[in-house]
């Protein structure tokens, strides 16, 4: 609805002003009302506590009165006027809100851009930390596997050393705080030293066997000292039988020596 239409409605439904007499200019009074038609007339009469008084030269229903009569159509409606007032109120309120939104449109754009940047940064950080967690989980699994592998290699090296010890001495070692890996290696070294010292009394095949066993033992001990039980295990498995044969040769020599002394 345009402003012109609203103004026309307001004028149409507003109360009509009381007309003035076109003869004398005085305000006329209502003489008759019929629906929306109101008849006004200039009676020339005034009223006070003493009663009714006519102006000079005037009397009831004179020619002046008859000529002044006029009928006005009054369709005024206070409800329509109240609705127009309410409509203007909301229209004014809408204009104020629209102006406020337009004035702050730049601020809203800036806030929206900041919100998008924040959401993007959060997504990037989430992706980064998810990657860190995945890498960490993978690394933990690798360390756990490495730890398991080291334990297995240590157990295998311990078993290999025990086999070497048994091959050299004929008995399995009994591990304790008083007898560890180093002690077992010392015993094996002493036994191999005995083998080496008795090479002059041994057949060529036995000498070769003892020499190779001594070399293998040195290699195995070096691997253990360098923290490579896997290599020590691999080599010891090859030479367990050789150590056993060398030990048998020494035992046979010991028995022969004892026999000679007995004679």
171 found inside a domain:
yes
pLDDT tens for each residue of 220-259: 666 766 667 667 666 666 666 666 666 666 566 555 554 3
Q: Supply the pLDDT for residue 173.
A: 81
Residue 141 located in a structural domain: no
User: Distance (Å, rounded) from C-alpha 42 to C-alpha 25?
Assistant: 9
Q: Is the pTM of this model over 0.85?
A: no
Does 33 reside within a domain?
A: yes
Answer yes or no: is 156 within a domain: yes
CA gyration radius for the chain? 63
- Strands 51-54 and 45-48, bridge-based pairing: antiparallel
pLDDT for res 175: 80
147: tokens are 């730890």
Q: Which of 47, 75, 103 is the last residue of a domain?
A: 75
Q: Please say whether the dihedral angle defined by the alpha carbons of residues 239, 240, 245 and 246, taken in this order, is positive or negative.
A: positive
88 occurs within a structural domain? no
Kindly state whether residue 117 falls inside one of the protein's structural domains. no
Domain that holds residue 229: 149-262
Q: Which of 27, 44, 75 is the last residue of a domain?
A: 75
Does residue 156 sit in the same domain as residue 253? Answer: yes
**CA–CA separation, 201 vs 25, rounded Å?**
166
Provide the token pair at 22.
């076109």
**Number of domains within the chain:** 2
254 and 158 co-located in one domain:
yes
pLDDT attached to residue 225: 65
Is the domain of 71 the same as that of 165? no
Q: pLDDT below 70 — which residues of the chain?
A: 1-4, 104-107, 192, 195-222, 224-227, 229-230, 232-263
Position 153 in a domain = yes
State whether 57 and 157 are in the same domain.
no
Q: Are residues 64 and 166 in the same domain?
A: no
Domain membership flag for residue 92? no
Task: State the pLDDT at residue 216.
Answer: 64
* pLDDT score at 40: 92
d(CA 187, CA 139): 41
């Amino acid at each position: 609805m345009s402003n012109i239409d609203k103004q026309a409605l307001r004028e149409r439904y507003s109360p009509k002003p009381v007309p003035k007499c076109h003869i004398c200019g005085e305000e006329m009074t209502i003489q008759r009302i019929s629906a929306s038609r109101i008849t006004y007339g200039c009676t020339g009469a005034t009223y006070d506590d003493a009663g009714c008084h006519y102006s000079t030269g005037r009397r009831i229903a004179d020619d002046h009165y008859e000529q002044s009569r006029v009928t006005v159509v009054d369709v005024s409606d206070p409800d329509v006027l109240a609705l127009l007032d309410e409509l203007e109120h909301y229209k004014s309120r809408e204009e104020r809100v629209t102006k406020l939104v337009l004035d702050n449109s730049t601020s809203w754009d800036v806030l929206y851009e900041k919100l998008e940047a924040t959401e993007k940064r959060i997504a990037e950080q989430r992706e980064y930390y998810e990657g860190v967690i995945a890498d960490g989980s993978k690394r933990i699994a690798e360390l756990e596997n490495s730890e398991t592998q080291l334990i297995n290699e240590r157990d295998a090296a311990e078993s290999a050393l025990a086999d070497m010890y048994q091959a050299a001495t004929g008995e399995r070692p009994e591990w304790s705080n008083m007898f560890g890996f180093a002690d077992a290696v010392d015993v094996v070294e002493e036994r191999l030293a005995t083998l080496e010292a008795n090479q002059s009394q041994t057949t060529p095949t036995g000498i070769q066997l003892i020499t190779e066993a001594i070399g293998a033992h040195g290699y195995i001990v070096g691997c253990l000292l360098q923290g490579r039980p896997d290599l020590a295990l691999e080599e010891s498995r090859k030479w367990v039988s050789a150590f056993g044969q060398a030990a048998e040769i020494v035992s046979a020599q010991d028995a022969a020596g004892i026999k000679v002394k007995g004679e």
